[in-house]
Amino acid sequence: MSPAALLSLSDRLDRISTVIGRNVAWLGLGLVLVTFVVVIVRYLFDSGSIALQESALYLHATLFMLGAAWTLKIDGHVRVDVFYRHFSLRGKAIADLVGTLVFLLPTCGFLLWISQDYVDAAWRVREASPEAGGLPFVYLLKTLIPVTAVLLILQGFSQLLRRLGELLQPAGSTHG
């Protein structure tokens, strides 16, 4: 596969993370609004709602888990930059390749494997909140675990293709 083809395929995979990430980013606004309502109801009206509090948890989990691949795409994850920032572009590409192959993909594969029974059990019983008045969708929330792993794997493949494409390009060419 040519460097241009690798980069083109990477771009297509990146679009998945971008579309999902930009859309779930709006959940942040919902989270702020729900949290605001929870605080107002609790402190001004001395009341509360388990479902409303749990909805903030669901929004936070969904935002975090479905946004993880996009965060990886835009290089927003925490990284130990002590050495990386001093690497050349080629050195950074190699470090990213190794990190993706050694850490990201195996971790996501393990997460997929280990979460299967956990999610299956939640779906079998349509697991709901143990709290009276809580939300009945715990099984959907738990489903985010393997979905996150799959999205991170796709973004990891995109990174692999992009870094390989960059390494295989003749010196001086760039992909815009």
The whole-number pLDDT of residue 160 equals: 94
pLDDT band per the 50, 70, 90 thresholds, residue 126: very high
Fill in the amino acid letter for 21.
Answer: G
Q: What is the domain partition of the chain in residue ranges?
A: 3-168
Closest CA to 24 of 151, 174, 138, 165: 151
Output the CA–CA distances (angstroms, integers) from residue 165 to 32, 89, 90, 93, in the order listed. 40, 13, 11, 10
Task: Pick the closest to residue 147 from 16, 28, 53, 26 (CA basis).
Answer: 16
* Per-position DSSP letters for 90-108, written without gaps between them: HHHHHHHHHHIIIIIHHHH
pLDDT tens digit sequence for 27-62 = 999 999 999 999 999 998 988 889 999 999 999 999
Cα separation, 56 vs 90, whole angstroms: 43
* CA distance linking residue 37 with residue 148, whole number of Å: 28
